[in-house]
Amino acid sequence: MLTASVRRSLLAAAKPSLHSPNQASSQFFLVPFRSLASLPVPPPVSTHDKSSERRKLHATATLQADATSSLARKTTSSTAVSSLTKRFVLTTEVTVSKIFPAGFGWQFSSIVAASQGFAADSLNFALCTGMGDALGVLCGHVGYYAAKKALVDPTIDSTKELHTGILLGSAAFCSGTAWQPTVNLLQSAELPWLSVAAGTWVGCGAAFYVGLRIARTLLSGPLRYVEPPTYENGQADAALSTSIGGATGFFVGTDVAYLPDQNLLYNLVGIQDGTPDLTASVMAGSSTALGFLTAQSGMNLVYPKGKCWND
């Protein structure tokens, strides 16, 4: 393409002088015929090549509709990846801040309960372990977000996180209290290990859901950051409770006394007799974390965008 300055120069050269209008024509007739004949003749222009090139360019050019469609596909793909990444980031945060502390707190409180002489099939034992589960969730949640506020995000509302921790801790008290009686009941029926784990998943997941709905009803008044029960948060609570159930189901793997040859988690999180208390508590927290990650990862991949509790 000719530049603007070159175009302007060509126009100036082609424009006749305003002062001598006949000068150009007179000079033309003075040029000898041979001189004209000796002038270089430009090569013929192939209209076929240009037209074929135009047709080729036209055929390969991206239409506006195609470009818009391509951009939409790229945007949709990018949004989907971003949404999935967000789900797994939040899943990891929940696992670290609440699920691991819940298992740790339950196991540690069971050691305290046993030291007080509470039998594993007693109400006192169940209530003590439920309280340890709840405190693990509350302290883990508040502590995690306090550290995150100090180190990463100063805009975090500490009061809001406290209210959220109380809400989730209340639900964890219900599932933590229900865990040992549920396992005792299923094991007394001499069910296979997988059936005991699956039954605990369902039973404790349901207990967490009921506790969460009751906590919303009771706490939404005094705690302004707790949303009262609605249809929308009911669906989110049900999905979260399903993943919590997975954590409690994997927690069954810590019990190496019941059908150890069927225990799929025996070598991963099985707590043996004589295991130090702190180590046992860490292994218990690891089992609940593994169960929650397994259950929630499946939900992250299956649930449509905007339908999972962590969207």
| Residue 78, domain member (yes or no) | no
- pLDDT tens digits, one per residue of 261-299: 999 999 999 999 999 999 999 999 999 999 999 999 999
pLDDT at 80: 54
Rounded mean pLDDT of the chain?
Answer: 83
Domain-embedded: residue 189: yes
| 143-193 confidence digits (pLDDT tens) | 999 999 999 999 999 999 999 999 999 999 999 999 999 999 999 999 999
How far apart are the C-alpha atoms of 258 and 202, rounded to whole Å?
19
d(CA 143, CA 12): 80
Token couple for 213? 């709905």
- One DSSP character per residue, 120-187 reads TTSHHHHHHHHHHHHHHHHHHHHHHHHHHHHHT-TT--HHHHHHHHHHHHHHHHHHHHHHHHHHHHHH
- Whether residue 237 contacts residue 309, with contact meaning beta carbons closer than 8 Å, is answered with yes
Domain containing residue 278: 92-302
- pLDDT tens-digit readout, 2-22: 444 434 443 344 444 444 444
Query: How many angstroms separate the CA atoms of 23 and 19, rounded?
Result: 9
Residue 272 lies in a domain: yes
- Residue 22 or residue 135, greater confidence: 135
For the whole model, what pTM was predicted?
0.75
Residue 177 identity (one-letter amino acid): T
Quick check: is 52 in a domain?
Answer: no
Q: Is residue 80 in a domain?
A: no
Q: Is residue 21 situated within a structural domain?
A: no
Domain count, the chain: 1
Residue 280 lies in a domain: yes
Task: Give SS3 for 271.
Answer: strand
Evaluate the CA torsion angle 88, 91, 97, 101 in order and state its sign: negative
For the ranges 80-89, 176-185, 225-234, which has the lowest average pLDDT? Answer: 80-89
Does some domain include residue 128? Answer: yes
When computed from its CA atoms, the radius of gyration of the chain, rounded to whole angstroms, is: 38
